[in-house]
Amino acid sequence: MNNSKTSILAPGSIIGILGGGQLGRMLALAAARLGFITYIYNPSANCPAAQVAAKIIVGAYDDIAAIQKFAQSVDVMTYEFENVPSATAEAAVALCPVFPPKIALETAQDRMTEKDFIANKAGVPVAPNHTVDNEFDAKRALNILGDKIVIKTRRMGYDGKGQQIVETDDAAMAAFKDLGSVPCIAEKFIPFAREVSVVAARNSVGDIAAYPLIENEHRNHILHKSTCPTHSDDGQAQAYTIKILQALDYVGVMAVEFFQLADGSIIVNEIAPRVHNSGHWTMDAGCTDQFELHIRAITGWPLGSTQPLYRTEMINLLGDDVQDWLSLAKDPNVKIHFYGKSDIRKGRKMGHINRRVS
Ligand code: AMP
């Protein structure tokens, strides 16, 4: 079996998910609603997805033999995070269909490859950028790109980690060292008016479905609130998203994060080749939710409706926020989604709420 373009999986088929966090959990719940069986592969048995899946297979992500065995036991494989090692994806692809495709993983894992692909292959604007492989590159990037730049590690950065904003030559050189003297990218600092995203899916026959534009508010570099629809024009962001999906011959849900400037124009910040935190509002907005949309896309099903019936805002519950569960439960306007994490830590995503707004 290989990445067949035509196969449609019937209910009862087995979906394998690499990663057992909250995204894996919500994927497993959506898969179960459609009658699929889910196996989770995760480095530990105690994970949010294991509580709701048919089976948990414990293994390291770079244990190729264990990954091969897992691939042979499922009808299709997907993942809930983009840092799946390339060799792991390669080993799995030889044994079962793996969606989203490996090229999407490889593109999203390296910020330089990602920016290059989006700008030059998909033809979608990104922030002006420059490679930084040493301290002198960092200084040069500041001189080329302008008064203020963001230096980011090319790999493994998330939630604002692995990046620094700099405005002087000395700070640029110091930032490269502080970031670990690893390959970096420098981007022009974009004085955006707001951050927005599009969550969309493509299936193997090329059908595409996109939710309306989502407005995102971050606190301490972590997503705090997402609201959709935004009462603004969605067209350009959706058109850019479609170009990226097509350029990657993508199958599954993808999120594209954008900066919107004061004049309304948008540029891509980054892509996530998976279901995304800014799409959690879909779970209670009366349309197909993003987890079901992903399961439909990877199993060859027709994509459902992405048109929300009402405006919804999603608020993340971080760390101790989750202790308020009883008062949240008393609010009839709030839909609660807890992730089943027993260990409460500051800033850890413990759950989210969705609320219908006008
Ligand atoms: P990232 O990990 O690339 O998504 O960056 C995390 C956050 O840092 C973004 O959501 C923005 O708020 C901010 N940021 C990243 N890159 C830039 C940039 N080029 N200009 C301005 N702000 C940025």
Q: Check if 43 has its Cβ closer than 6 Å to any atom of ligand 1.
A: no
Mutational test site, ligand 1, from 150, 158, 196, max ligand atoms within 8 Å of CB: 150
Of 47, 24, 28, nearest in space to 38 by CA: 28
Return the axis-axis angle of helices 102-109 and 86-93, rounded to nearest 10°: 180
* Residue of 161 and 275 predicted with greater confidence: 275
Cα 240 to Cα 266: distance, rounded to the nearest angstrom? 9
Give the pLDDT confidence score for residue 232 in this predicted structure. Answer: 83
- Residue 137 Cα to ligand 1 midpoint, Å, equals 20
Phi-psi region of 112 (alpha: psi -120 to 50; beta: other; left: phi over 0): alpha
* Residue of 173 and 161 predicted with greater confidence: 173
Cα 37 to Cα 56: distance, rounded to the nearest angstrom? 12
Task: For 101-123, write each residue's pLDDT tens digit.
Answer: 999 999 999 999 999 999 999 99
Of 276, 254, 312, nearest in space to 21 by CA: 276
DSSP 123: -
Give the pLDDT confidence score for residue 4 in this predicted structure. Answer: 45
Q: Could you give the domains of the chain?
A: 14-98 (3.40.50.20), 128-188 (3.30.1490.20), 194-356 (3.30.470.20)
Atom in ligand 1 nearest the alpha carbon of residue 189: 20
Strand spans (E) along 133-229: 149-153, 163-166, 184-188, 194-202, 208-210, 214-219, 222-228
Give the pLDDT confidence score for residue 161 in this predicted structure. Answer: 81
Mutational test site, ligand 1, from 259, 269, 271, 278, max ligand atoms within 8 Å of CB: 269
Cα 162 to Cα 81: distance, rounded to the nearest angstrom? 17
Q: Check if 270 has its Cβ closer than 6 Å to any atom of ligand 1.
A: yes
Q: Check if 195 has its Cβ closer than 6 Å to any atom of ligand 1.
A: yes
Of 161, 283, 307, nearest in space to 234 by CA: 307
How would DSSP label each residue in 214-239? EEEEEETTEEEEEEE--SS--HHHHH
Q: Is the pLDDT of residue 132 over 60?
A: yes
Shortest-distance Cα residue to atom 19 of ligand 1? 189
Give the pLDDT confidence score for residue 6 in this predicted structure. Answer: 53
Amino acid at 124: V
Q: Check if 127 has its Cβ closer than 6 Å to any atom of ligand 1.
A: yes
Cα 33 to Cα 230: distance, rounded to the nearest angstrom? 29
Please compute the mean of the pLDDT values over residues 125-132 and round it to a whole number.
97
Question: What's the chain's average pLDDT?
Answer: 95
Q: How confident is the model at residue 2 (pLDDT cuts 50, 70, 90)?
A: very low
Shortest-distance Cα residue to atom 12 of ligand 1? 221
Please compute the mean of the pLDDT values over residues 328-339 and round it to a whole number.
97
Q: Check if 190 has its Cβ closer than 6 Å to any atom of ligand 1.
A: yes
Q: Could you tell me which residues come within 8 angstroms of residue 99 by beta carbon, excluding any fewer than 6 positions away? A: 3, 76, 77, 78, 204, 251, 252, 297, 298
- Residue 269 Cα to ligand 1 midpoint, Å, equals 7
Shortest-distance Cα residue to atom 5 of ligand 1? 160
Cα 122 to Cα 189: distance, rounded to the nearest angstrom? 22
Task: For 10-43, write each residue's pLDDT tens digit.
Answer: 999 999 999 999 999 999 999 999 999 999 999 9
Sign of dihedral through CA atoms 232, 273, 106, 157? positive
Residue 171 three-state SS: helix
Please compute the mean of the pLDDT values over residues 270-281 and round it to a whole number.
98
**Cα maximum dimension of the chain:** 60
Asked whether the bond before 48 is cis by omega within 30 degrees of 0, the reply is no
Cα 99 to Cα 152: distance, rounded to the nearest angstrom? 28
Q: Check if 33 has its Cβ closer than 6 Å to any atom of ligand 1.
A: no
